[in-house]
């Protein structure tokens, strides 16, 4: 026994030695090695546009800097990329931007913001060129701002219009015995429709058709302006798949040159006046963004606080990928108490989620409004619970393609009674009071419990519509007429009074500064998530490798489905959640 004890002591000692050495090395590098992310920008450089690993508006800050150091995105968000493009416009060392086989993972509103930033960059007289082996519609929408668009001789432009697909599970429930008990308010609250029917309701078809047409209209209008091709012609090309070959794409003015990648680089060398056999200077956009993010150039005393609320609304502290009341409420409280903060911009990119958490955040915004103006900037989504936390702002901005509204609530309860009966399981309850047992998935949902849940749904819907009415200066009846769970785009929401103006983050910041009565200001990002490095070590070194392994085995899309199923198990209480996720490809 003593022998095994000595062996274990040795193993533990070696482990502790290596761990201590590892962290000492990190500390030494941080103190004396400089910032490894700082990149040197040479004269006559090209900024290489690459957004594959950036999807959130906000990269995040943590109470423990070691968490930031080891985070996958290294705290770079779309907001940092936009700042980097703006800085590159003024940087004499940057001569142009190359968009090379970019696989941007941003939503439609974020892509619009990036597109606008690139258009502004071109005002400097610097060039933007784009090359792809094949453009998806979203990639083409972004790349269409380029001065010259290149396409591989074997590539294509996937330009065909927008579509969405909804899967229905009524028959599956009958056959499997696994059913979902649904209680809702809102004829358009179609998140639960697949459990109730085997076909799409006319109400859902109406809202999805209007939404897709609105988004498409915005996309083709902007492409039309950049490519000098009429909207009518673009719609004809979409109908006839008129860009499916390189030759067709060029003939219809969607691309400028059919070439291989080496020819593309030769063309850039020619612009830079670099010999054909020499390398030209390149700077990765993410590296450049880190330089800009870590080199503040504005030291104004006045500040505009930007509070990022991104992801599904759950509960707890929150993190970069989901909204919790802890971090958001703390951020608003800090901004409210800071006398140098003159106004708050709430950047919302959320399909909604927990009604309770939404209300807690709404309340904190009400308190903030009493001392400082609050402006909302809507991103890809600000729907259902995402709209709940937006509705009481002084001014609301949305992009044309923002998905918002969805003012409605629902609850779902899984029921396994039929399945348990099939396999010979019978559940019997004993209770002291009528409602003592609550809900059991092994007992049919009785009318009394259903009515109780329905009354809660109605109560929360009434609260939701009342708060929207107060915030938007509408009657409850008016809100109900545009509510009922219906989804609207930003362009549609402007017409019916759910938002005030069409615009991006810059517009919202300018409005906040105006309301805050300041002209000399800088922005400060919130929240700072209360997450310690010890939390990361809880699964070290297996947590990240497990995630990567699952992604490799299942593929990214299937991994996202798995994560969505995981989030479903985390949802508690009544939900105010967007009924559909929109991805533009």
How far, in Å, CA of 214 to CA of 396, rounded? 19
> Checking DSSP bridges between strand 302-310 and strand 312-313, what pairing results, if any?
unpaired
Token pair, residue 332, equals 């608003």
Phi first, then psi, for residue 39 (nearest 5°) are -115, 145
With H, G, I as helix, E, B as strand and everything else as coil, classify residue 522: strand
Strand partners, 405: 383, 487
Buried residues in 186-199 as b, exposed as e (16+ CB within 10 A): bbbbbbbbbbeeee
How far, in Å, CA of 487 to CA of 212, rounded? 11
How far, in Å, CA of 242 to CA of 176, rounded? 45
- What lies within 8 Å, CB to CB, of 385 at 6+ separation is 313, 350, 351, 352, 353, 354, 355, 357, 358, 575, 576, 577
Q: Are 140 and 227 in contact (CB under 8 A)?
A: no
Active site residues: 189, 384
| Torsion, CA 573, CA 574, CA 577, CA 579, rounded to 10 | 110
* Alpha-carbon torsion (7, 10, 15, 16), positive or negative: positive
With H, G, I as helix, E, B as strand and everything else as coil, classify residue 493: helix
Angle at 554 between CA 552 and CA 555, to 5 degrees: 65
How far, in Å, CA of 297 to CA of 135, rounded? 37
Helices (H), 423-532: 447-472, 476-482, 490-496, 505-515
Angle (deg, nearest 10), helices 542-554 and 556-570? 120
Region label for 289, one of left (φ > 0), alpha (ψ between -120 and 50) or beta (otherwise): alpha
């Amino acid at each position: 026994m003593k022998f095994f004890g000595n062996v274990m002591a040795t193993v533990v000692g070696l482990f502790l030695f290596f761990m201590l050495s590892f962290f000492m090395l990190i500390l030494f590098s941080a103190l004396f090695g400089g910032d490894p992310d700082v990149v040197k920008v040479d004269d006559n450089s090209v900024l290489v546009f690459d957004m594959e690993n950036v999807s959130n508006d906000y990269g995040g800050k943590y109470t423990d800097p070691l968490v930031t150091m080891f985070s996958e995105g290294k705290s770079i968000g779309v907001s940092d990329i936009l700042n980097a493009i703006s800085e590159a416009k003024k940087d004499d060392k940057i001569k142009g931007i190359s968009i090379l086989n970019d696989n941007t993972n941003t939503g439609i509103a974020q892509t619009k913001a990036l597109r606008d930033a690139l258009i502004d960059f071109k005002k400097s007289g610097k060039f933007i060129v784009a090359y792809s082996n094949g453009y998806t519609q979203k990639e083409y929408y972004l790349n269409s701002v380029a001065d010259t668009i290149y396409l591989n001789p074997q590539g294509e432009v996937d330009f065909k219009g927008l579509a969405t697909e909804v899967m229905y599970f009524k028959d599956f429930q009958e056959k499997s015995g696994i059913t979902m008990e649904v209680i809702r308010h809102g004829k358009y609250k179609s998140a639960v429709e697949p459990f109730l029917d085997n076909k799409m309701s006319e109400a859902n078809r109406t809202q999805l058709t209007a939404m897709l047409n609105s988004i498409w209209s915005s996309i083709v209008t902007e492409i039309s302006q950049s490519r000098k091709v009429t909207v009518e012609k673009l719609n004809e090309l979409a109908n006839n798949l008129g860009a499916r070959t390189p030759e067709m794409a060029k003939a219809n003015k969607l691309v400028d040159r059919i070439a291989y990648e080496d020819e593309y680089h030769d063309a850039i060398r020619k612009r830079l006046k670099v010999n054909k056999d020499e390398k030209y200077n390149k700077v990765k956009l993410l590296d450049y963004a880190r330089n800009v993010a870590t080199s503040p150039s504005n030291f104004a005393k006045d500040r505009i606080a930007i509070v990022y609320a991104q992801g599904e609304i759950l509960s707890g502290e929150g993190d970069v990928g989901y909204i919790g009341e802890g971090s958001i409420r703390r951020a608003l409280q800090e901004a409210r108490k800071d006398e140098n903060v003159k106004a708050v911009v709430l950047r919302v990119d959320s399909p909604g989620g927990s009604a309770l958490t939404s209300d807690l955040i709404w309340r904190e915004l009400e308190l903030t409004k009493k001392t400082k103006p609050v402006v909302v900037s809507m991103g890809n989504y600000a729907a259902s619970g995402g709209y709940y936390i937006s509705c009481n702002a002084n001014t609301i901005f949305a992009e044309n393609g923002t998905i918002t509204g969805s003012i409605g609530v629902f609850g779902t309860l899984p029921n396994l009674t039929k399945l348990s009966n099939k396999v010979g399981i019978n559940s019997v309850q004993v209770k002291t009071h009528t409602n003592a047992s609550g809900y059991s998935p092994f007992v049919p949902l009785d009318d009394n419990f259903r009515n109780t849940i329905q009354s809660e749904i109605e109560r929360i819907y009434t609260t939701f519509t009342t708060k929207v009415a107060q915030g938007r200066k509408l009657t409850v009846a008016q809100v109900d007429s545009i509510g009922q769970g219906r989804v609207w785009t930003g362009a549609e929401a402007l017409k019916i009074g759910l938002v005030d103006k069409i615009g991006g983050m810059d517009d919202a910041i300018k409005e906040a500064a105006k309301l805050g009565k300041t002209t000399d200001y800088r922005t400060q990002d919130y929240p700072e998530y209360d997450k310690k490095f010890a939390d990361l070590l809880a699964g070290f070194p297996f947590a990240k490798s497990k995630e990567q392994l699952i992604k490799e085995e299942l593929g990214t899309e299937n991994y996202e489905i798995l994560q969505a199923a995981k989030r479903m198990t985390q949802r508690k209480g009544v939900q105010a959640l967007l009924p559909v996720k929109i991805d533009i490809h």
